[in-house]
Structure 1
Amino acid sequence: MAEPKAADFSVLEQLEEYNPVNLSLQEQTPLERVNSVFDLTDVFPRDWAYGALERLADRYGCLLAYPDGTYRGNQVILRYEFAAQLAPCLDALERQIKEATGQIGDADLQDIRRLQQEFAAELATIRGRVDNVEAQTAALEANRFTRSATVFGGEVILGLSAAAGGGPPGDGDSQPAFHQFTRLQTVSTFTGKDRLRVELAVGNFSDRGFGNRSAVDTDMALLSFQADSGNRVELSKVEYRFAVGDRVVLTFRPVGFSLSSVLTANSPYFDSGRGSLSRFTQENPVFKIGRLDGGMGLDWLVADKVRFQLAYGTRNSENSNPGGGLFGNDHSALGAQLLLRPAPRILTGISYINGYDDEGRLDTFTGSFNADTSGRLGNPAHIHGVSGTLQWRLQDNLTFGTWGGLMWTDFINQDASATTTTYLFSLGYSDPFGRRGDLAAILFGQPPKLVSGDGVTEDADTSLHFEAFYRFRMSDRLSITPGFFYITNPEHNSSNDDIFVGTVRSVFRF
């Protein structure tokens, strides 16, 4: 449940509250003001101090973070760092007092100074007591065997959505729908450097939503927050992560795995509740190859500006019969990614995916059916994918993002292959109109398209995807996002009617 944020090493599925990797970054670096708690890469809505940090940013504008975008809330800070955090908040508070009472005169300020001097001894005593408590806490931490904690959180996503057009490729007969997607999650730690996450989910947007035959009949119209469990609660994620030293984290996720569970998507909109509206624009479809469900991975902070990630997953990973299991599976993918930060405001990632599918399918469910099935041959194939991602914070509240992907399917038992491409450009403007926590975004791209190959039929034309939304922050826990996306030449076929999907998404987090 990560938030759209500027360039950094962590997004929705990256190391969350207990993140030993982030703790190994340089300690003595100047602090920088951030406009929103969403810009912090290691702070998430589940964190116990999330509300307090959000108020510091939204109400007082005095939230500071390290240049790499981390807050490092579990780290002991220096007195200088505490003073640097406190000073802008005091300035903001003084400004708000002046606005509320008209003006604070010099006499009033002198009275405040006299009070500070008068109670200097008491303040010194309190400071000494705090030092003693800090020393005792450090001793307890040094002698503890384990530190366990469990937190509970969740979100309820309500959508009122409608679609028009798309007849063909579908029948074009769809009605507005009111649907929901609810997630409940517990996060536990046993040592302070590990994390066990269990998630239950329930959804009711049935029959692929607007992607069914009677509506627009294309995966290009799928929403990012749609789910269908028939209103039955299902186990959607089970994950355990732990640190090996200070720079390596291992991940095991037997339920709810995808390559982006380990490989950072590097997308500002990779969040079903607060990110983009469509499935296609959430992340590079290359990371969705294989429709996996179980897997593992490694995340290694090679240097302060270099991160290497490795992920392996399968479908039907719980099945010990031939064609299932963790190895020898009919559907599997191995991915590697190198993340680089060439400048403080830029993060770029380069990834390679090597997969196998006994029917030669990509199964990203974001582009044309022809592309997703690699020309519909239905035979075993090796799949190779290359992804490039970039986030660039142009200004404090303006973020440019882009990604591109190429997927090549090489059929094993016949002389055939298929090449599929995709790309996206985005621009996000945070805190527009002076409203802290709001986000306006526009996105433009091409869903996966089969552009060339041997023994397969290429997509005839080109579909383009246009999307825009505005996220209103109503309170610390509630946001409402109206928006739409528009698809030209659905299924990369100019004979098909264009598609328009509009939605109002409401998200309540607790």
Structure 2
Amino acid sequence: MGRKFYSVVFPFILGIGFVLSITPSSKAQKQQLSENLDQTAQILEKIEQYNPLKQPPQTSKPLEELDQKKTNIVTDKNDDTLGQIEQYNQLDRPPEIPPPLERVNSVNQLSDVLPIDWAYSALQGLAERYGCLLASPNSTFSGNRAISRYEFAANLNECLEVIQSLIGEFGESYVLQEDLAKSQRLQEDFAVEIADLKSRLNALETRKGILEANLFSTTTLLKGQVTLALYDAFGNDGEDGATVSADDSQIGFGHSLTLNFDTSFTGRDFLRTRISAGDLPGVNTGTAMTFLNSGSPPNNEAQLREVYYTFPLNNEMSLYVGAAGLDFDLMAPALNPKLISGSIGSVALYPAYNPTIYIQVGGAGLGYSYQINQNFRLDLAYLGGSPGGGTGRVNDPSEGGGLFNGTNSAYAQLTVSPTLDFDFSFAYVKSYYTASLVNVAGFTGSRNAQRPFGRVATSADHFGFQTSYRWAPFTISGWVGYSNARAEAGDREGDEADIWHWAVT
């Protein structure tokens, strides 16, 4: 039995990436739009039904006649209304739930109505006499599309409804004739706003039909990203110290496309389905040390790269279930936020995060996250498949395949956050690789670091310490990793190899 020590050296890569992110607004907030339509329709229905006098004064004009005379006034406002409705197409925003309305009995409590207006004093008298004013809890009119006159009209309608109810219950003598006259005049004065509300409702219904006709999904958000990369490697020292020509590696221009289908059924759960295609092989150096962070399947082949689902067990615990592409870095914080992204982060894969912890076996399996408190977090996982998140033979029930008999890894990480700007973590990974999928260094090390005993079944214990400190606008991150690998078969069965690596980013 022998033990070997390997150190890992990583060359310099120059890369320029161009990223085009496409995030269509596909997840329509149809529920929010429907609630606003229902609310506006109810106001209009109440106005149509209201008739405060059993026998209205001769000088008053019916509401419908006024509506017809005012139609030409509100027609020109339709375009502006459609523009206001555009806010409902901002689908990435979570829906804002308006607070419940409560009744107040004095117009003085409404901060955005001028007391010098006759309408103010008239409504004030009706409200104080019949207790009928409706306002939001913050004592302001809370409409998000109309000016205060429209909200004033809605409050007026509330008072008219209360007065009508009192007349029906106690008779016309219960309401002063003076108040009936005031209510009739207010109704006439706000006829334009009432008609405009009708126009707005029609526009909302039209817009709602357009959104429904072009809706991608009520639960799924489609996101796309295109990466165009110009890359090359420099130097004359080849693998194993051999001298090579500077022409051995040429400038490359590659591309990749990623489509994410992000679904949520409850608002707290998350289902990710990712499809990738492209041709971004990386630089020609003969070593995995220069593997690109934004690499893609070759020859423009479309592949299903990720299918996993996460949901909360309670406010502190979450569970992850994956069928493909579930890696440990999707659960546990890798503590290298500036470089982890393949599109706007590190060009090479190695500086993205600790490779012997976060680029080990992934694919299918289970994960568990527990936010113990604001300072401590625990992440656990068991994943089977292949290094880098491929499914490997996890779906193969024969010998050497399956979730437990094939290539697999068990993960544990404790993350400590003493302050908002400082984090560090301790991680341990127990891995087993079948002969065809040995990759101890996670696509980033030398040939000896990746397969220290050749293509034979290998097991390894990986230990990692990661840290990150945010000093605005900078972030300093780094890690130290140690792996102890053992040959599990072949002529070298029982041999061990120690692999160290570190980085400051």
Class of the TM-score when normalised by the shorter of the 2 chains? 0.5 to 0.7
d(CA) in 2 for partners of 1:336, 1:74: 36
d(CA) in 1 for partners of 2:98, 2:470: 27
8 Å Cα contact 1:148-1:192 kept in structure 2: no
d(CA) in 1 for partners of 2:116, 2:484: 75
In the alignment, structure 1 residue 392 sits paired with structure 2 residue 502? no
3-state SS in 1 of match to 2:329: helix
Please name the residue that 2:324 is paired with.
255
3-state SS in 1 of match to 2:346: coil
Question: 1:126 is matched with which residue: 141, 162, 184?
Answer: 141
3-state SS in 2 of match to 1:421: strand
Please name the residue that 1:155 is paired with.
225
Give 5+ residue unaligned stretches, structure 1. 1-43, 50-71, 79-112, 133-146, 427-510
- TM-score, normalization by structure 2: 0.54
Please name the residue that 2:188 is paired with.
none
Change (3 A) 1:400 1:278: same
Query: What is the CA distance between 1:47 and its match in structure 2?
Result: 10
Map residues 414-429 of structure 1 onto 2, 5 A cutoff: 414-426=493-505
Map residues 254-273 of structure 1 onto 2, 5 A cutoff: 254-268=323-337, 269-273=339-343
d(CA) in 2 for partners of 1:163, 1:196: 38
Question: 1:165 is matched with which residue: 235, 255, 263?
Answer: 235
Q: Alignment RMSD, CA only?
A: 3.7
8 Å Cα contact 1:389-1:404 kept in structure 2: yes
Output the amino acid matched with 2:315.
D
Give 5+ residue unaligned stretches, structure 2. 1-20, 27-92, 100-110, 121-134, 146-150, 155-216, 386-392
Structure showing greater Rg: 2
Map residues 48-63 of structure 1 onto 2, 5 A cutoff: none
d(CA) in 2 for partners of 1:377, 1:162: 29
Change (3 A) 1:247 1:185: same
Output the amino acid matched with 1:311.
A
In the alignment, structure 1 residue 196 sits paired with structure 2 residue 271? yes
Please name the residue that 1:305 is paired with.
375
- 1 or 2, which has the higher helix percentage? 2
Map residues 492-507 of structure 1 onto 2, 5 A cutoff: none
In the alignment, structure 1 residue 368 sits paired with structure 2 residue 446? yes
3-state SS in 2 of match to 1:127: coil
- 1 or 2, which has the higher strand percentage? 1
Task: Calculate percent identity across the aligned residue pairs.
Answer: 22
Output the amino acid matched with 2:457.
P
d(CA) in 2 for partners of 1:75, 1:265: 32
Change (3 A) 1:421 1:116: farther
d(CA) in 1 for partners of 2:289, 2:116: 69
8 Å Cα contact 2:443-2:450 kept in structure 1: yes
8 Å Cα contact 1:254-1:295 kept in structure 2: yes
Please name the residue that 1:225 is paired with.
294
8 Å Cα contact 1:148-1:189 kept in structure 2: no
Query: What is the CA distance between 1:263 and its match in structure 2?
Result: 2.3
Please name the residue that 2:80 is paired with.
none
Change (3 A) 1:251 1:272: same
- Number of paired residues? 307
d(CA) in 2 for partners of 1:271, 1:277: 9
Map residues 286-365 of structure 1 onto 2, 5 A cutoff: 286-315=356-385, 316-329=393-406, 331-359=407-435, 361-365=439-443
Please name the residue that 1:380 is paired with.
457
d(CA) in 1 for partners of 2:496, 2:114: 77
Query: What is the CA distance between 1:282 and its match in structure 2?
Result: 0.6
- TM-score, normalization by structure 1: 0.54
d(CA) in 1 for partners of 2:332, 2:441: 18
Deviations 1:308-334 (A, max 9, x none): 1011111221222221111222x1100
Please name the residue that 1:184 is paired with.
259
8 Å Cα contact 1:259-1:312 kept in structure 2: no
8 Å Cα contact 1:290-1:357 kept in structure 2: no
Output the amino acid matched with 2:342.
S
